[in-house]
Structure 1
Amino acid sequence: MSLAAYRRALPLLRIPFSIYLMPVFWFGLSALRGPWNGGRAAGVFVVLHLLAYPASNGYNSFYDKDEGSIGGLKAPPKVTPELLHLVWLFDALAVAGAALISLPFAGLVVVYLLVSKAYSYEGIRLKKYPLLSTLVVVVFQGAFTFLMTQIGAGATENQLFEKTNLLLALVSTLFLCGSYPLTQVYQHEEDARRGDRTLSLRLGIRGTFVFAAVGLLAGAAALGLAYWLRQEIRPLLLFLVATGPVVVLFSRWVWLVWHDEKAANFEHTMRMNQVSSLCLSAAFIAMLLWR
């Protein structure tokens, strides 16, 4: 085993792609009413985005053995045993780093990592069950991560279980419910070859976009309700302004797909991920700074 072999395997952890999951982190922090620990929050970011998410990405790649484009990689390298070694290393570092922040947070990170393994592991392979896999992803990358971020940042029990905070946690799951199938829309052929009946594959290309629109609209409506209950108009306005480009891009993508389903491809999917991640993160960071 050479160092070069590990360098070749490293891209399959897709660390840059993990950054696309930033909005849930910033959303969780922006939703907290009351004090939280900035140093701990920074540690949470490192544990999740630089360690736990890459470990999950790598484990998924190890069992998928994709030959076509995957999230963040147009031409993924061949899977080797070194990838699994890196996954275990990143898992261990994620749990150790989380334990330095707090033991409850570390416990939640362990749960997240185990669930992500169950999603991909060939002996369980939740990914092949369209509804169950979707439910697992949208809950654990949505509300679970939202609350896990807050716990890591030092939120109190009262902050966590305040009714509008729980509603906003649900919003994060609804947004994931809308966006997650879009990440599968260009992989129908490869998923079918592996026997993974993903939700997008079951819905079809046009059905995927309809489902996504419904999920995103439901999330936006719930978000508006939460801010109305909080009597916080400014965050809602910031969200509407920041997500304007996302709405425009999504609408144009839908128009292209309706005229030619080949537009449901890797390039358009990655562009949608990039723009939505940056815009949502900008909105939630602005909410944090402009209180």
Structure 2
Amino acid sequence: MNSSWSDAWRLLRIPFSLFLMPIFWFALSAAPEVSAGRAVAVFLILHLLVYPASNGYNSYYDRDEGSIGGLKHPPKVTQTLYWLVLIFDVLAVALSALLSWLFAGMVLLYLLVSKAYSYEGIRLKKYPLLSTVVVVIFQGAFTFAMVQVGSGVPEDRILSTNNLLLALVSSLFLCGSYPLTQVYQHEEDSRRGDETLSLKLGLWGTFIFAGLSLLVAAGVLFYTYWRRDEPWHMLFFLLGTGPVLLVFSRWLYQVKQSLAAANYENTMRMNKVSSLCMSFSFFIILLWQLWRG
């Protein structure tokens, strides 16, 4: 594999796509009566094709010189990346169609929206509020529903009030975590003219906004678990995500001591801990559901 293809593969950032796992496990834990085979297929399509294609397309138009999610020193962008992204797009939609046409349509819509986020002719990324709304809806509630559709959850179950409340929770969690991923990119975003939400809020505003959003998300989550008569799920979530609160508090203290602590390394640590802990929590909830039958 020549350097052009090797660099293109790196810019797909497939390992970084695994940070979006919590939505998958959350969606399944909300409706565990699904086909295991279909669920595995959905996981592979999303995390090995859809998310990497979105990452690669974003890199193609951003042409970052500084650190990006999952790559501290990104390689130079070449035309090879563009064609590799298109290959991943086609594979994602084609394989999704084998599960259901509705799932394939949702995957296609997700891919198109992710391109509108970065494409220079539209570039939703330039608009702080609009881009945030788009990201939290499509990476949150829309993906939550997409996982359930692909995994074979009945339509009436997907559209039930409690399930829609959990879909809302997924967007609220994204609303809190998304601006935090932008705190170390203020300088580069300003240079490109991308007025991100974090840049608009400022450093401390971003942390306050994130904390409030995550608090509201947890509140709605516990309310919905109460409506569903699932008190054990609250306990599993609290125990599983305890480290997230500790890491977030420690990071906040470090930033208070020195603004330089709002850097790539700490952002990725926060991202990794929150992703793994939330995935673990929802995975345990899923196992509990399956064990109870």
Do both proteins adopt the same fold according to a TM-score greater than 0.5, normalized to the shorter chain? Answer: yes
Aligned to 1:88: 86
In the alignment, is residue 27 of structure 1 matched against residue 22 of structure 2?
no
Aligned to 2:176: 178
Residue 254 of structure 1: how far off its partner (Å)? 0.8
Aligned to 2:187: 189
1:123-134 mapped onto 2 (5 Å cutoff): 123-134=121-132
Q: Structure 1: give runs of 5+ residues left out of the alignment.
A: none
Residue identity opposite 1:214 in structure 2: L
Moved more, 145-154 or 253-262: 253-262
Q: Structure 2: give runs of 5+ residues left out of the alignment.
A: none
1:221-236 mapped onto 2 (5 Å cutoff): 221-236=219-234
Residue identity opposite 1:10 in structure 2: W
Q: Deviations over 1:190-223 (max 9, x none)?
A: 0000000000000011110000001100100000
Residue identity opposite 1:242 in structure 2: G
Residue 236 of structure 1: how far off its partner (Å)? 0.8
Q: Deviations over 1:169-189 (max 9, x none)?
A: 000000000000000000000
Q: Which runs of 4+ in 1 moved over 4 A?
A: none
| Cα distance in structure 2, aligned partners of 1:75 and 1:3 | 19
Aligned to 1:70: 68
TM-score normalised to the size of structure 1? 0.98
Residue 206 of structure 2, aligned match among 188, 200, 208: 208
Residue identity opposite 1:254 in structure 2: L
Moved more, 259-268 or 105-114: 259-268
| Cα distance in structure 2, aligned partners of 1:205 and 1:19 | 26
- Does the Cα contact within 8 Å between 1:206 and 1:258 map onto a contact in 2? no
In the alignment, is residue 41 of structure 1 matched against residue 39 of structure 2?
yes
| Cα distance in structure 2, aligned partners of 1:258 and 1:138 | 28
- Does the Cα contact within 8 Å between 1:56 and 1:113 map onto a contact in 2? yes
| Cα distance in structure 2, aligned partners of 1:7 and 1:97 | 24
Q: Deviations over 1:134-168 (max 9, x none)?
A: 00000000000000000000011111011111000
Residue 4 of structure 1: how far off its partner (Å)? 3.7
SS at match of 1:111: helix
Q: Deviations over 1:111-152 (max 9, x none)?
A: 000000000000000000000000000000000000000000
The RMSD of aligned alpha carbons is 0.8
| Cα distance in structure 2, aligned partners of 1:13 and 1:82 | 12
Aligned to 1:141: 139
Q: Deviations over 1:23-51 (max 9, x none)?
A: 00000000116x21111111100110000
Aligned to 2:246: 248
| Cα distance in structure 2, aligned partners of 1:191 and 1:8 | 23
Residue identity opposite 1:56 in structure 2: S
SS at match of 1:74: coil
- Does the Cα contact within 8 Å between 2:7 and 2:77 map onto a contact in 1? no
| Cα distance in structure 1, aligned partners of 2:76 and 2:6 | 12
In the alignment, is residue 14 of structure 1 matched against residue 13 of structure 2?
yes
- Does the Cα contact within 8 Å between 1:128 and 1:196 map onto a contact in 2? yes
Aligned to 1:107: 105
Aligned length: 289
- Does the Cα contact within 8 Å between 1:52 and 1:113 map onto a contact in 2? yes
Residue 8 of structure 1: how far off its partner (Å)? 2.0
Moved more, 219-228 or 24-33: 24-33
Residue 97 of structure 1: how far off its partner (Å)? 1.1
Aligned to 1:276: 274
Residue identity opposite 1:23 in structure 2: P
| Cα distance in structure 1, aligned partners of 2:263 and 2:43 | 30
Residue identity opposite 2:14 in structure 1: I
| Cα distance in structure 2, aligned partners of 1:4 and 1:244 | 42
Residue identity opposite 1:171 in structure 2: V
| Cα distance in structure 2, aligned partners of 1:17 and 1:259 | 29
| Cα distance in structure 2, aligned partners of 1:24 and 1:134 | 17
| Cα distance in structure 2, aligned partners of 1:8 and 1:126 | 26
TM-score normalised to the size of structure 2? 0.97
SS at match of 2:81: helix
| Cα distance in structure 1, aligned partners of 2:283 and 2:248 | 22
